[in-house]
Amino acid sequence: MVEHHAEVLTGGVWQQRVPGWRDLVATLLVLGVVILLGIGARQMVGPFVAEHQQAISLSPAALPSYVLRTVMRMLAALVASLIFTFTYATLAAKSRRAEMVLIPLLDVLQSVPILGYLSFTVVFFVSLFPGNALGPELAAIFAIFTSQAWNMAFSFYQSLRTIPGDLDEASRSFRASPWQRFWRLEVPFAMPGLIWNMMMSMSGGWFFVVAAEAISVGDVQIALPGVGSYVARAIAQRDLAAVGWAIAAMTVAIMIYDQMLFRPMVAWADKFRAEQTAAQIVPRSVVLALFRRSSLAGHVSGPIGEELHRIARAPLVIPWRLPLANSWSPPRRLVDAAWYGLLTAAAAYVGWELAQYARSALAWDDLKVAAGNGLLTFFRVAILIVLASLIWVPIGVAVGLRPKLTERIQPIAQFLAAFPANLLFPVAVFLILRFELSPRIWLTPLMILGTQWYILFNVIAGASAFPTDLREAAASFRVRPWRWWRKVMLPGIFPYYVTGAITASGGAWNASIVSEAVSWGSTRLNASGLGAYIAQMTEAGDYPRIALGIATMSILVIATNRLLWRTLYLLAERRTRLD
Amino acid sequence: MAARTEPRIIELRHVCKAFAKPSGEPLPVLKDIDIAITRGEILGLLGRSGSGKSTLLRIAGGLIQPTSGEVLYREAPLGGPAEGIAIVFQTFALYPWLTVLENVELGLDALGLPVAEARRRAMASIDLIGLDGFQSAYPRELSGGMRQRVGFARAIVSDPTLLLMDEPFSALDVLTAETLRTDFLDLWIEQKLPTKAVLMVTHNIEEAVLMCDRILVLGSNPGHIAAEIPVSLPQPRNRLDASFHAIVDEIYAILTSRMAEAIGERKQVHGGMGQLLMPVSVNRVGGFAETLAMPPYAGHAELGKIAGPLALEINDLLPIAAALHILEFAELEGGAIKLTAAGHLFAQSGTEERKRLFREHLIRFVPLAAHIRQVLDEREGHRAPRERFEFELEDHLNRNDADSTLRAIIGWGRYAELFSYDDRTRTFGLDLSGQ
């Protein structure tokens, strides 16, 4: 029984010492990324005066540097979102009283259209760093952050709430400190969900980075060097070729981003899956494999990993932590009552202030206009979801049932979901003008251009996860096609479909702001609707009406989520359980 | 091994535990528990699911605070998880993202050892438990038995004084469980483990008799100590020994006689409406009756003898025995079960005849079944909500038991075609044609 495995412990004597080709590639990759990040970061803190902005060049040669700066903003926002996630969601999961406030708040924050944040925060950020590019940069980063943070925080919170009881008890019985517990249990357990949501966030971020770089709120006109500004200028100049270049550059950028960041992360996070069964499809990444096999990378990252490991394992007990035993704390109900009282008072005060403000700035007619526009957009979203479902559900099922095809189509669907569809808008607008189509009808599909893919790839995932025995049973009983769809396949993929449709409809609402009112040079197309309303008011800098439009949209989104999607979700959960 | 003069490792005094029901009123789980575990002892906690034995183990581990009473670990009050107490979990509780080695090292985190020292101790523990060669594997690459070995290695790596084991072998198949049990006992007998005492929760009677120096039988509702049985057989023990069997039979006798007593008592009060039923499939009841009717049993068997060949643990066996007893197809006496005349008929008849017999006995001996049928017959539309009967039952039973009873009666009533039940609308009805 007592055998020693010294060679395993000392790090492996069999490892090659001579640098191999893998080391070379790995080194180049690391150096390249470091240098590029450095360049991007330096540009961000340069001097900035709103009146003397560097003009955006439409030359394709300028694009790589624009793409780099856009990617930098995305990364910065992602880091900010992670920090937000770790603090906000942890607080919500650990404190019952904080949870009462934080989670509904998150629900609302999530439903506020992302451009809404931009119009309200840009002035603040610009005034924070007068004369420095950091101000508008921060405004743009914040806007991207708002498109990424909420669902990541939700996912982390959900994970924290669903930590398996036995793992929780094990960590408690080993007397792990909160710090150890966080890094050893909570973060790893939440990792797969968090990475998935980071990828989703990224897609949302790409969409809005285009809008966040060319900021135009009232008389504030800012064009930060980046792909977004490039496209905005191309639209203003009616330069279809430049739009084409931007699309190409973005395609390359997203592919690189995917290969360099997300694929390695997903492959790495595979070990965090909580199920103890072997997965059928193990995610792989060339880049990760390269780094894992490169002995040089191992030597360099080894000590860093050890150090991180040591930090995560440090007991780090917070001295003022309340004692476990319920020895002296005041009655729970009393504290609860006080807390409720405080919240009610705060809500009443804010409500009163808002009402005062609204009464002075808005008329009843404004409310009617906003509501009418809201309904119009609501019907657009509903029709689009129905149409997209009719198209993509059968296709998704057909693909998902063929494993070979799934392997090929699934990455494409995910790429399409990540691609910022608003880059394609100018092309669509050009066509509408060219063929003199009605903007009210033909601008509508733009809303779902980017988000319909969520329906597709979720349905594909559902169909490929459909139990083989149930399919075989249906085949052997020769179930007829109509019944096969109604009784076998649709109920089987329903939970997946609902997940996809929720994302698609949320995305469509968000996209309405950029797709209901578009321009090509000096020509403006307006489809009317809540999105167009918000866009117009933003352009005019009419803050009370921006707020009204955003509030209307939030209420509509929350109402659909609560009344429609949550019901469907619960139904899906109940119906697909066997016990 | 358990001498009275040995010092007490852990002591539970008058421990009670109640959880809050959703309605806010307390649901008592444990009542007035007194346990003392002395040095060198393996103490077994034996009981059916729902007897609060896992809760008791968690109280001893400091994971749950008792509602009242005190826990003394080495003569000092236990305020939470303490150094020197380690737990082996039924579900292994391994961190899937950590390798075997890292999982074992986790048991040392709180000690704040230097990295090299932690690694050395983890490797020693891995070697001791027979996992050498697997240290870099992830749990999902291991079989159930190897996973639980990791669970053991992780528990003993911190040199615990007290080892708590929560049904450590029940998630494993029979052969694997036996190997692991034997390996553990070998280490324990040869005193290779630093551990001074073990508290083990189980619902497997033979396992308890095989491993423990003393067995506490827990009764349910709320959990209390029903009996204490010292096992003085020398280790290693032989399952085929007559003395081994005598103890197994004694435990069965204790469990079944208490159950038969409780059934008898409940029958006398409230017109039998407070009878607690445990959901068990009629197919299993029928299958058990058939086996019991055939040779070598010929209608009469010690539960300890029939459980083995049928591979039934007490969680499965007792509900079947209770159902047969309540329906008067069989009688429980001591640790034995004996088919009645009707029981013989029930065992030998075909599908239709068996159904008819079951229905007859259900109406006659389960007042609740007769009551539901009567209500449905009298009502216009012949429908009644489940809630109605829930309320009635909660006059006599606590909520969990009422729920268990209703689930049992729904299964039995459906089989007997006495009434129907629609789970979506939660209503009873008389739609027996299947439409």
Q: How confident is the model at residue A132 (pLDDT cuts 50, 70, 90)?
A: confident
Q: Pick from B91, B94, B97 the residue to mutate for testing the A interface (most A CBs within 10 Å).
A: B97
d(CA A513, CA A407): 34
Q: Any idea which residue has 């789980």 for tokens? A: B29
Q: How many CB pairs under 8 A join A and B?
A: 108
B residues 158..187 contacting A (CB < 8 A): 158
Give yes or no for residue A329 having a pLDDT over 80.
no
- Vertex B411: Cα angle to B406 and B414 (nearest 5): 115
Please check whether residue A9 touches B, CB under 8 A: yes
Q: Please state, in angstroms and rounded to a whole number, the distance separating the CA atoms of residues A516 and B235.
A: 82
Q: Which residue has the higher pLDDT, B221 or B193?
A: B193
| pLDDT > 90 fraction of chain A, expressed in percent and rounded | 5
Topology of domain B8-247, per CATH?
A: Rossmann fold (3.40.50)
| Position B360 confidence tier, pLDDT thresholds 50, 70, 90 | very high
pLDDT of residue A553: 87
| Rounded Cα gap, residues B212 and A346, in angstroms | 61
Give me B314's structure tokens.
């007490």
The yes-or-no verdict on residue A327 having pLDDT over 90 is no
Residue B399 in 3-state DSSP? helix
Cross-chain residue pair A175–B63, CB shorter than 8 Å: no
Which chain B residues have a beta carbon less than 8 Å from that of A315? 109-110, 112
Across residues A112-124, what is the average pLDDT?
Answer: 73
Residue B281: both structure tokens together: 């499939």
Provide, rounded to the nearest whole percent, the portion of chain B with pLDDT above 70: 97
pLDDT score of A3: 34
Helix (H) or strand (E) holding B11: strand B8-20
- Provide the pairing of β-strand B197-202 with B162-166: parallel
Q: What is the pLDDT of residues A195-240, one digit of tens each?
A: 878 887 887 788 777 777 877 766 667 788 888 888 888 888 888 8
Q: Check whether B308 has a pLDDT greater than 70.
A: yes
Residue A446, CA distances (Å) to A112, A419, A527 in order: 20, 13, 11
Phi and psi angles of residue B379, each rounded to the nearest 5 degrees, phi first: -75, 145
**Would you list the domain boundaries of chain B?**
8-247, 282-429
Beta carbons of A210 and A250 less than 8 angstroms apart: no
Cβ contact A222:A215 at 8 Å: yes
Q: Does A321 touch chain B (CB under 8 A)?
A: no
Under the banding of pLDDT at 50, 70 and 90, the label for residue A254 is confident
Closest CA to B318 of B366, B269, B359, B262: B262
What structural domains and CATH numbers belong to chain A? 39-49+59-291 (1.10.3720.10), 362-579 (1.10.3720.10)
Closest CA of chain B from A328, distance in Å: 14
SS3 A479: coil
Q: Which residue has the higher pLDDT, A440 or B376?
A: B376
Mean pLDDT of A424-429: 83
Interval B102-124 mean pLDDT: 87
Q: Return the pLDDT at A237.
A: 86
B14 pLDDT tier (thresholds 50, 70, 90): very high
The better pLDDT of the pair B420, A543 is held by: B420
Q: How far is CA B330 from CA B288, B314, B322, B340, in A?
A: 11, 17, 9, 5
A447, pLDDT greater than 70: yes
Min mean pLDDT across A23-37, A218-232, A423-437, B67-81 is at A23-37
- How, if at all, do strands B427-429 and B197-202 pair? unpaired
Subunit contact B61:A173, Cβ cutoff 8 A: yes
Mean per-residue pLDDT, B71-96 = 88
**Mean of all residue pLDDT scores within chain A:** 78
Q: What are phi and psi of A121, to 5 degrees?
A: -105, -15
- Interchain CB distance below 8 Å, B110 and A177: yes
> Nearest-CA neighbor of A211 among A548, A508, A510?
A510
Taken in order B162, B166, B172, B174, the sign of the CA dihedral is positive
Q: Is B130 on the interface with A (CB under 8 A)?
A: yes
Residue A59, pLDDT above cutoff 70: yes
How remote is the C-alpha of B303 from its chain's centroid?
A: 16
Indicate the residue type of B10: I
CA angle B110, B116, B118 (to 5 degrees): 30
Mean pLDDT throughout B378-384?
A: 89
CB contact, 8 Å: B73 with chain A?
Answer: no
**ω into residue A319 within 30 of 0, thus cis?**
no
Nearby residues of A21 by Cβ (< 8 Å), 6 or more positions away: none
Helices within A479-526 (DSSP H only):
481-483, 490-515
